[in-house]
Structure 1
Amino acid sequence: MTTTPFQRLAIALASGTVLVAGLSACVPLVVGGAAAVGVGMVATDRRSSGAQLDDQGIELRAAARVREIANDNMYVSVTSFNRQVLLTGAVGSEADRRRVEDVVQRVDNVRSVVNELTIGQSSTFQERSNDVFISGKVKASLLDAKDIFANSFKVVTERGVVYLMGIATRRETDRATEIARGISGVQKVVRVVEVVSEAELASQAQRGGTGAPAPAPAPSSAPGTSSSSRVPLPPMEPLPPAQPGGATTTPVR
């Protein structure tokens, strides 16, 4: 069945309903949604199936770690894509900002942490609701675009700043940025993208892969900091050997 742009926007917004429902907690902490990936998305995602499972585990374990140090001045969102973690939200001090990054970096299989936490008051319920709406519009616009593979990107919005995470070519990254910048309410676009060449995607596809290069291994966890959680988690896949390249973080105003 063919869906209209309005229907696609409604679907995208519906996926954020659960997120908005929990925004009023005392020390809120949002997990980035990797655990909601379905079978169809797994098949079209450029991450390996192991990386997708690892991202689920990373988000849940990182959330558990941050809860252990959380205070009333923290509102932290944890999003993992291909074992790279994006931290968004607000904390009360620079010490808290560093502390959150440190505990998340120690989670098993985390390759790197992009710390976009701000110092100050957390966003209001209205601002967070607007962020969910903006993310929905960006996702719907990416789906409508005929010259881009929408599943290459994960969209995160914080106070009007749109973060694009993913595995994509330079052309796809620039095109997705152009689309996001054209959405009403978007203040800035930040690209946290692993840029690959068309040749790399084609070569991987011929081998039956997902089109994504192998990520670099994560640093070893410090003694006594092994990941643990009361939530049942999927097994963590060993990281493949390191290869050149990595994520590019590019602010675009």
Structure 2
Amino acid sequence: MNHTQRPRLTSTLAVFVVAGAASVLMSACAPLLIGGAAVSGALMYSDRRTSGAQLEDQSIELKAGPRLKEALGDRAHLNVTSYNRLVLITGEVGTDADREAAEKAIAAIDNVRSVVNEAAVTMLTSLSTRSNDALLTTKVKAAFIDDGYIQANAVKVTTERGIVYLMGRVTEKEAAKATEVARGVGGVQKVVRVFEIISDAELKAIEAK
């Protein structure tokens, strides 16, 4: 499968998964990697997930590494990002069978409610490509802060091969704005939205807490 193929959901969930247009250059080499950030202090308090969901997301990401290592060894470069127990798989695998094995391994982790499998069947990326992806993630996050329309920690950003993936619990307007801002960052090849859309009333209730 190439990176423009639509991802599959392992369970039903009201989630936006919208891919933009553009081409991506791919290069070679490297092992399995797992992504995820620690949650603490003020960020945990202001997060739109419950504290329990944040801890479950951390646990899912920590468990993902050993599960993928067991299933695939060093044949893949994959990142796993969990938000509100919706899990995004990104990166590269060598075969369709490995892609399916990765999804199966992640879906079996406790508390995972749905999986979006965006792993591409292609050559593994180089270290320079991954460094550029990390820089793009930083630039997109900074662009959200500069824009000021949406809380920076309301959207989780992951980048693979110049493709920016956006996750979070956001309203329709916030989703559109976040996509617009991310697309405006230099070097971004495409934006994929993996949002859980909430209503304005739900957002007000979250902010009231």
The alignment's TM-score, normalised by the length of structure 1, stands at 0.69
Equivalent residue of 1:186, what SS? coil
Residue 125 (structure 1) aligned with residue 130 (structure 2): no
1:116 aligns with 2:139: no
Q: Which of 194, 197, 202 is the aligned partner of 1:195? A: 197
Aligned twin of 2:105: 103
CA displacement at 1:147 relative to structure 2? 1.8
Name the structure 2 match of 1:138: 140
Say whether 1:62 aligns with 2:71. Answer: no
CA distance in 2: counterparts of 1:121 and 1:203, whole angstroms: 45
CA contact (8 A) 1:90 1:117 kept: yes
Deviation of 1:26 (Å): 5.9
C-alpha contact (below 8 Å) 2:34/2:61 kept by paired residues: no
Larger RCO (CA under 8 A, 6+ residues apart): 2
Name which of 12, 17, 31 aligns with 1:27: 31
Where structure 2 has 5 or more consecutive residues not aligned to the other structure, the ranges are 1-28
Give the structure 2 partner of residue 46 of structure 1. 48
Instruction: Give 1:120 deviation, angstroms.
Output: 1.6
Calculate the aligned-residue CA RMSD, in Å: 1.4
Alignment of 1:150 with 2:147, yes or no, is no
C-alpha offsets along residues 168-197 of structure 1, whole Å, 9 cap, x if unaligned? 111111001000000111011000001111
- Shift of the 192–26 alpha-carbon distance from structure 1 to 2, 3 Å rule, reads closer
Give yes or no for contact 1:27–1:70 (8 Å, CA) kept in 2. Answer: no
Point out where structure 1 has 5 or more consecutive residues left out of the alignment.
Answer: 1-24, 209-253
Distance (Å, rounded) in 2 between the aligned partners of 1:45 and 1:178: 22
Point out 4+ residue stretches in structure 1 off by more than 4 angstroms.
none
Give the total of aligned pairs.
181
